[in-house]
Amino acid sequence: MKSDLFKILTLSLVCWLAIAAANDLDRSILVIGDSLSAGFGVEPENAWVSLLQTRLQDQGYGYRVVNASITGDTTGGGLRRLPRSLQLHQPDLVIIELGGNDGLRGLPIGMIRKNLTEMIALSRKNGAQVILAGMKIPPNYGATYTSAFSNLYAELSEELNVPLIEFFLDKVALNPDFMQPDGIHPNDRGQLQLLENVWQILHPTLETD
């Protein structure tokens, strides 16, 4: 009993120290996404956002990573939540990973474009750089819609001069070794690849002390 209590207290102290250390960092990265960034189905420490925080610390980058991702969220939900997140965390950089659920629901491309455009504008108005994570949807939604959805991210990247992760699930989607049994959400191995997909675009934008 005493041993279990000691373990719990020790774990709590480690978590508190990690949070306190992160909160002392000067710069911050806000990740606003859906289940792919919320770490659905994996332990929190194995999710790509947590792995990103670890890598930043290991490589000496003074950034605190704030995960404002919610499973099932859409661009509309992200747009509604973003102002509050910007106010609370004052991020230096915002990673927008949204749109997949919009596409799976067949929402109008124009609406998705409008929501993402406004999120980018709000982030920049708050002084943050923006990285956009591109998504794709299955072909059963029809060639016209599927193509328009996929092209949307590249078009926004070019029009608004936003760094783009061309396909957030690159090397993960359709790879059973990297996916959970549901075939939708990445497993632990997939989370590692998501980190690499993000890092390739994120790394050149990072500031060093």
For residue 105, what are the domain limits?
26-205
Q: Tell whether 1 is covered by a domain.
A: no
User: Is the pTM for the entire model greater than 0.85?
Assistant: yes
- Is 9 within the bounds of a domain? no
Tell whether 183 is covered by a domain. Answer: yes
Q: What is the C-alpha to C-alpha distance for residues 6 and 170, in angstroms, rounded to an integer? A: 43
CA 136 to chain centre: 15
Q: Is the dihedral of CA 64, 70, 71, 72 positive or negative?
A: negative
Q: Is residue 7 part of a domain?
A: no
Which of 37, 92, 102, 185 is the catalytic position? 185
Residue 76 belongs to a domain: yes
Q: By the 8 A CB rule, do 141 and 100 touch?
A: no
CATH number of the domain where residue 59 is located: 3.40.50.1110
CA distances from 204 to 38, 40, 120, 198, 200 (A): 24, 28, 19, 11, 8
pLDDT of residue 207: 82
pLDDT at 33: 98
Residue appearing with tokens 């943050």: 128
Q: Give the pLDDT of residue 17.
A: 40
50 among known catalytic residues:
no
* Residue showing tokens 């108005």: 125
Instruction: Please say if 89 is a catalytic residue.
Output: no
Q: Which pLDDT belongs to residue 8?
A: 38
pLDDT string in tens for the chain (209-residue length): 444 444 433 443 333 444 444 445 589 999 999 999 999 999 999 999 999 999 999 999 999 999 999 999 999 999 999 999 999 999 999 999 999 999 999 999 999 999 999 999 999 999 999 999 999 999 989 999 999 999 999 999 999 999 999 999 999 999 999 999 999 999 999 999 999 999 999 999 998 76
87 belongs to a structural domain: yes
- pLDDT the model gives residue 5: 43
The number of folded domains in the chain is: 1
Q: Is 182 a residue of the active site?
A: yes
Residue 4 lies in a domain: no
Give a yes or no: residue 127 inside a domain.
Answer: yes
Say which of 4, 24, 177, 182 is annotated catalytic. Answer: 182
- Which among 35, 37, 69, 85 is annotated as catalytic? 35
Provide the pLDDT for residue 18. Answer: 44
pLDDT attached to residue 208: 72
